Amino acid sequence: MSALIDGARTNTADGAASVTLRGQPLRFLSDPYTAGQQLQDPDRDGLVVQPAFADTRPAAFVTTEIWDGFPRVWAQPLYVPVTGFDPVTGPVRFPDSLSIFGCAPGSRFYSPYWQTYFVTVPAGTDPNALRSAQEVVDSGFPLTPGPLRYATIGPQQVEVARATGAPAPVHPFTLDVLQARLPTQAWADGQLVWAVDFGADRFRVNPANNVVQEVALFRLALLGSDGQPQALDVPPVVGTGPLGTPRAADAPNGFPRFGALRHEYYAVLTNAAGQFTPGIFVSASRPELRQQLISQVGAAMVPVPSGAAERLPEREQYTLRVALDGSCFTLTDFPNSCTWFDTQQSIEGNLPTTAFIDLKRFSSGALVFFDGVAP
Amino acid sequence: MRAGVLVLLCAPSALAQADAYSPPAASQPSGLQINGYADVGFAAAQGNGTSFAPGDTRIPADYGVDPFATAVNSRGDVASTDSGGRFTNGFLPRSMNIGGQASIFLSTFDVDLKYVPSTVPLLLFGRVQFLPRYGGSGNDTRVIVEQAFAKIAPFSSLELAFSIGKFDSVFGIEYLENEANLRTNITPSLIARYTTGQSLGLKAFYRIQIPGIWSAVSLNAAVTNGGTLVETLSPPDISLVGRPIGSARLGYELNLPSVEVKAGVSGEYGPRNDQHDPTVRQWLLGADLRVVFKGLSLSAEAVKVHQDEGAADKSNGLGPQTLVSEFVARGAYATLSYTLPVSDGALRKFIPYLRYERRRAQFEGFPAYTVDRWTIGFRVDLWEELIVKAEGLLNGEVSGLPKVDNNVFTSSFVYQF
């Protein structure tokens, strides 16, 4: 995460896309997406709430790490000191102790994916006795496996991006309230660190080797005049499985366990649409956004929605959603009239295999919104 | 100095000592010679046969302990490398997969083919090994070409030879005992993984005798694909990186009537061949000493290793891995043995031996750890064909890693032909 914050300061593409520095405009809560300009809280840098679609539903995620050229990422141990286990409430935290990350960010084996182990600490132990994985191993205290957890180590002054004065972060298009995530202290390699904890069961691993299961992330694109794909400035689509193997969305009680490790691909629309012209849905209530898109991709790809579409109360859930044939926006049975590129199945089923270009990079970060739930 | 084109044929034992193993020369001046051996073992390891401690949840699992410690045969195969589902990153030996169960096994069936033409100063050599194994997925047997080289000695007046093909290491001295029928004890040292690997390329050997002071000086140098690391760590058969690795040993011998002293320094430098970036380097430095006096033999060797960090394209004899981690290590061993004088009957040799060794290593992102090991055992030679060996390995965790029960008893019955 620190690398992306540094990247934001030097205005790298990944940094700027992932982090909004304190006091700076929040892209998706400012022109042209929303009238006016809202700024990130002046005391903290913000992890950009990236709108997305997943399994036909509006979603959003943050990005805390980007892995270029790393074929696999695995869950490292996170040790949580406990005094025992209550049969009703579960593990009993050891008072005044901090969790111990098994790997520090300086290591290339660091990842924000953690396998929790509860360390049963005898009474009378110094709460700060265990400050590194080595000390935990050397202690010989009993270890009990716990849940998987997504937590990213970084600076103290960071949060999920939130507008100045707003009580909590929101989804930029639906304005659903998201959970605020503030850093807490922990140990890593004997040093005090700060970490933003996105909670338990936010990803899955292969049981045989603790390698984190990836999903495909599709960045919709058009072929440019030079024959190279040009990404559309629309929300990406988070898949539910690796490329070519979509699965049912794994989200018990609405809490998604997929999408925290994303293998990125271009999905090039030019090859697929055939006689149809894909359409990007933007309500007439967002004229500046419509105008910007038209200047980028032409008016044909940004049809004027029908009156029926504009009257839909949930129309903002379709903002910047891409349809196979944009003419469906003008029909009275919108949105059912559309074949949307909003699921892995739909994208892979409606585009030829040659439409997918592996960007050979992975991004990490939990889904912070999915199907009306802010996990 | 011995003269003549047939120096290879006339002085095979001396050359073999300094320039890797070659079977004894044929009694005839030319023709095909077939030699070989079989190594049947029996071993039992403590615990589950690995060095992975039950309470150690760190990953990669093979970075915080020494997975090579539970060796059970002369190839360095261990009782087990099962990490119990913990992620590993390719710092592992081959495994006999016996775990904590006592088992008999066939370590190696070796066939050597040697051809020495009568009219040209050539030696053509090939070594095929059959390695019967059983793994988690059933039959894991492999057949490997461990050596295949042509050696030429172009000048009759010089002890100079060039080899091309796949051959033994030139680093240090332990590679001289790679094969079970040659090795005094059974298991390789803790540093053998860095110095004893075969590789493919070119080699030159030169030795000059200095009779006035009972001495000789030799230089053994090679440029190869994989360097001298064992094949699980650095694949020898192709160059992944597109650049060769250079290695060499400069040796001195003092051959007095009553005592023999051999000393050498070795070095290696080049790109890591477990990844693809030629700027990711490795280097090794080593020193060795052998002293033989009235049946008493002392062998000692030390090595220091450094490998740069690279990208995430690690690949080695165990298959594709992930990160190319920075790695540093140093270690040393000393072996003391005594050849008891025996009769010319069935019992030809009885050699008790004792080895002590120590190794310190550190992977990127992990604390340094130090292990040590005592090895005690004996070797009995019956006639020229049969060898029986048994030894115990007492593995110790000195610092930086969890205690684990991983001592080993192993034995070996070798017949050679």
What integer pLDDT is reported at residue B11 of this predicted model? Answer: 36
Domain closes at, from A200, A230, A256: A200
Determine the average pLDDT of the residues in B230-248. Answer: 96
Contact residues on chain A for B364, CB-CB shorter than 8 A: 107-109
Does the residue A264 lie in any domain?
Answer: yes
CA distance B402 to chain A (A): 6
Does the residue A47 lie in any domain?
Answer: yes
Supply A128's token pair.
Answer: 């700060």
Does the residue A307 lie in any domain?
Answer: yes
Of the given ranges (A71-75, A293-297, B80-84, B165-169), which has the lowest mean pLDDT? A71-75
- Separation in Å, CA B165 to CA B7, B34, B129, B222, B260: 21, 19, 17, 11, 32
Q: Specify the 3-state DSSP secondary structure of A355.
A: helix
List A residues 13-42 in contact with B (Cβ-Cβ < 8 A): none
CA distance A117 to chain B (A): 9
How would DSSP label each residue in B313-372? --EETTEE-S----EEEEEEEEEEEE-B---SSSEEEEEEEEEEEEEEEEETTS--EEEE
Nearest CA in chain B to A111: B59
What integer pLDDT is reported at residue B4 of this predicted model? Answer: 39
Q: Does A135 share its domain with A36?
A: no
Does the residue A208 lie in any domain?
Answer: no
Percent of chain B with pLDDT over 70: 93
Supply B13's token pair.
Answer: 């034992």
What integer pLDDT is reported at residue B1 of this predicted model? Answer: 36
Q: Is A90 left (phi over 0), alpha (psi -120 to 50) or beta?
A: left
- What's CA A151's distance to the chain center, in Å? 13
CA distance A291 to chain B (A): 43
pLDDT band for position B30 (50/70/90)?
low
Q: How far apart are CA B89 and CA B320, in angstroms?
A: 9
Please tell me if residue A307 touches chain B, with a CB cutoff of 8 Å: no
Fold of domain B7-416: Porin (2.40.160)
**Cross-chain Cβ contact A209/B320 below 8 Å:** no
Nearest CA in chain B to A144: B55
Nearest C-alpha neighbor of B54 from the set A143, A128, A82, A13: A143
Cβ within 8 Å of residue A314, ≥6 positions away: none
Q: Does A220 share its domain with A192?
A: no
Please tell me if residue A212 touches chain B, with a CB cutoff of 8 Å: no
Q: Does A318 share its domain with A336?
A: yes
* Of the partner residues B87, B309, B364, the one whose CB lies closest to the CB of residue A74: B87
CA distance B58 to chain A (A): 6
Residue A74 per-residue DSSP state: B
CA distance A76 to chain B (A): 6
Q: Does A196 share its domain with A232?
A: no
Does the residue A371 lie in any domain?
Answer: no
What integer pLDDT is reported at residue A224 of this predicted model? Answer: 84
Q: Specify the 3-state DSSP secondary structure of B46.
A: coil
Q: Could you read off the pLDDT of A196-244 as tens digits, one per residue?
A: 999 999 999 988 778 899 999 999 999 888 889 999 999 999 999 999 9
- The answer to whether residue B344 scores a pLDDT higher than 80 is no
* Of the partner residues B59, B367, B402, the one whose CB lies closest to the CB of residue A210: B59
Q: What is the mean pLDDT of chain A?
A: 91
8 Å CB contact between A40 and A225: no
CA distance B405 to chain A (A): 14
Determine the average pLDDT of the residues in B102-107. Answer: 98
**Cross-chain Cβ contact B323/A109 below 8 Å:** yes
8 Å CB contact between A249 and A56: no
What range defines the domain where residue A114 resides?
76-153+184-200
Supply A76's token pair.
Answer: 């490292």
Q: Does A64 share its domain with A81?
A: no
Domain ranges of chain B: 7-416
Q: Specify the 3-state DSSP secondary structure of B164.
A: strand
Quote the number of domains for chain A.
Answer: 3
pLDDT digits (tens), chain A, 375 positions: 888 999 999 989 999 999 999 999 999 999 898 888 999 999 999 999 999 999 999 999 999 999 877 778 889 999 999 999 999 999 999 999 999 999 988 888 899 999 999 999 998 999 999 999 989 988 989 999 999 999 999 999 999 999 999 999 999 988 999 999 999 999 999 999 999 999 999 999 988 778 899 999 999 999 888 889 999 999 999 999 999 999 988 888 888 999 999 999 999 987 444 567 889 999 988 899 999 999 998 998 999 998 888 888 888 889 999 999 988 998 888 888 899 999 999 999 999 998 999 998 899 999 999 988 888
Mutate to test the interface with B, among A66, A111, A115, A137 (most CBs of B within 10 A): A137
**Cross-chain Cβ contact B85/A210 below 8 Å:** yes
Q: Does A104 share its domain with A248?
A: no
How would DSSP label each residue in A202-213? -S-B-TTT-BBP
Do you find a cis peptide bond into A32, omega within 30 degrees of 0? yes
What integer pLDDT is reported at residue B29 of this predicted model? Answer: 56
8 Å CB contact between B116 and B8: yes
- The answer to whether residue B6 scores a pLDDT higher than 80 is no
Dihedrals phi, psi of A307, to nearest 5 degrees: -60, -35
Q: How far apart are CA B337 and CA B378, in angstroms?
A: 9
Q: How far apart are CA B183 and CA B186, in angstroms?
A: 7
8 Å CB contact between B276 and B320: no
Single pTM value for the model:
0.83
Q: Does A64 share its domain with A163?
A: yes
Q: DSSP alpha helices (H): ranges in chain A?
A: 2-9, 13-18, 133-139, 287-297, 307-311, 344-350
Cβ within 8 Å of residue A210, ≥6 positions away: A74, A75, A115, B59, B85, B86, B87
Quickly tell me which residue has 């190594």 as its tokens: B39
Q: Does A53 share its domain with A93?
A: no
Please tell me if residue A295 touches chain B, with a CB cutoff of 8 Å: no
Contact residues on chain A for B88, CB-CB shorter than 8 A: 209
* Of the partner residues A74, A77, A138, the one whose CB lies closest to the CB of residue B57: A77
* Of the partner residues B58, B313, B367, the one whose CB lies closest to the CB of residue A102: B58
What integer pLDDT is reported at residue B79 of this predicted model? Answer: 98
- Total residue length of chain A: 375
Quickly tell me which residue has 């046969």 as its tokens: B49
Give 3-state DSSP helix, strand, coil % of chain B, rounded to 5: 5, 50, 45
* Of the partner residues A133, A134, A211, the one whose CB lies closest to the CB of residue B87: A211
- The amino acid sitting at B247 is S
8 Å CB contact between B108 and B131: yes
| Interface pTM, i.e. ipTM | 0.73
Supply B69's token pair.
Answer: 């410690």
Q: How far apart are CA A155 and CA A111, in angstroms?
A: 16
Quickly tell me which residue has 């600076």 as its tokens: A155
Q: Does A282 share its domain with A355?
A: yes
Please tell me if residue A111 touches chain B, with a CB cutoff of 8 Å: no
- The answer to whether residue B128 scores a pLDDT higher than 60 is yes
Q: Does A139 share its domain with A11?
A: no
- The answer to whether residue B13 scores a pLDDT higher than 70 is no
Rg of chain A's alpha carbons, rounded to an integer? Answer: 22
* Of the partner residues A104, A137, A140, the one whose CB lies closest to the CB of residue B58: A137
8 Å CB contact between A214 and A263: yes
- The amino acid sitting at B1 is M
Nearest C-alpha neighbor of B151 from the set B260, B275, B12: B12
Q: How far apart are CA A290 and CA A283, in angstroms?
A: 8
Q: Does A126 share its domain with A266?
A: no
Q: Does A147 share its domain with A166?
A: no
User: How many Cβ atoms sit within 10 Å of the Cβ of residue A148?
Assistant: 22
What integer pLDDT is reported at residue B16 of this predicted model? Answer: 39
CA distance A106 to chain B (A): 8
Q: Could you read off the pLDDT of B273-324 as tens digits, one per residue?
A: 999 999 999 999 999 999 999 999 999 999 999 999 999 889 999 999 989 9
Contact residues on chain B for A191, CB-CB shorter than 8 A: none
Does the residue A370 lie in any domain?
Answer: no
How would DSSP label each residue in A99-149? -EESS-TTSTT--SEEEEEEEEPPTT--TTS--SHHHHHHHT--EEEEEEE
Contact residues on chain B for A108, CB-CB shorter than 8 A: 309, 323, 325, 364-365
Contact residues on chain B for A142, CB-CB shorter than 8 A: 55
* Of the partner residues B59, B60, B402, the one whose CB lies closest to the CB of residue A138: B402
CA distance B57 to chain A (A): 6
Does the residue A375 lie in any domain?
Answer: no
Cβ within 8 Å of residue A254, ≥6 positions away: A370, A371, A372, A373, A375
Does the residue A373 lie in any domain?
Answer: no
Q: What is the mean pLDDT of chain B?
A: 92
